[in-house]
Amino acid sequence: MPGRTITAAWQSAKGARARSAASSNPTESRPATGAAHLPFNSGVRHEHKPCPGSGRVDRPGRRHGAAAAAAETPPAATVFEEDGSIAQSLSGAPGDPQAGRQTMEARGLGNCYACHLVEATPDIQFMGDIGPALHGAGSRWSAAQLRGIVADAKHTFPDSMMPSFYKSAGFLRPGEGYTAKPATEPLPPLLTAQQVEDVVSYLLSLK
């Protein structure tokens, strides 16, 4: 049949021209490579791999997460010396003096300026004078002494009105006869172990 023969010949010639064009310009016949050309659902997964070691580190020696929790000394295990000092770091990491100042200033955390005057921070208004002035604290007390005072000042000054910032049990509180649902111990401390170390670091800078 002449019609079918002509059609078959035409299709064969068309295929030959396409193969010839592909061989002369191979880049047009090969799929593009690279992440930018992959289809959306290509099956390729890009996973973030954390750095070796557990916990996030944002400053030398400062860890977060599981590593930080493992290094911390909980309030119930804190060891006070006879003079009320705490020899070992509570967090196992260096303190950040700038973060310590922020903790002292924050009303929901330390709120230290409500009772203490600090000459190094004249920008803070309405500082109190119930407690001793803190300028020169780094010259009067050691890191261990300041750590004990911040954690629980009553070990150093039994008559102190200062809150115990790192204490979770042993409080005198109204019981069920006065409170419908009294909180049960252990209670969360007012400051974390690292926040205590930050405050100590800032106080040490006040010479």
Per-residue pLDDT of 124-139, as tens digits, reads 989 999 999 999 999 9
Question: Alpha-carbon distance 134 to 162, whole Å?
Answer: 14
pLDDT at position 55: 42
Mean pLDDT (the chain) is 78
pTM of full prediction above 0.75:
no
Q: Which domains does the chain have, with CATH numbers?
A: 68-171+178-204 (1.10.760.10)
pLDDT at position 26: 47
Question: Among all chains, which residue has been given the structure tokens 């019981």?
Answer: 175
What confidence tens digit (pLDDT) does each residue in 151-198 have?
Answer: 999 999 999 999 999 999 888 777 777 777 777 888 899 999 999 999
pLDDT at position 68: 61
Element (H, E) at 63: strand 62-63
Specify burial of residue 118 (Cβ count, 10 A radius: 0-12, 13-18, 19+): buried
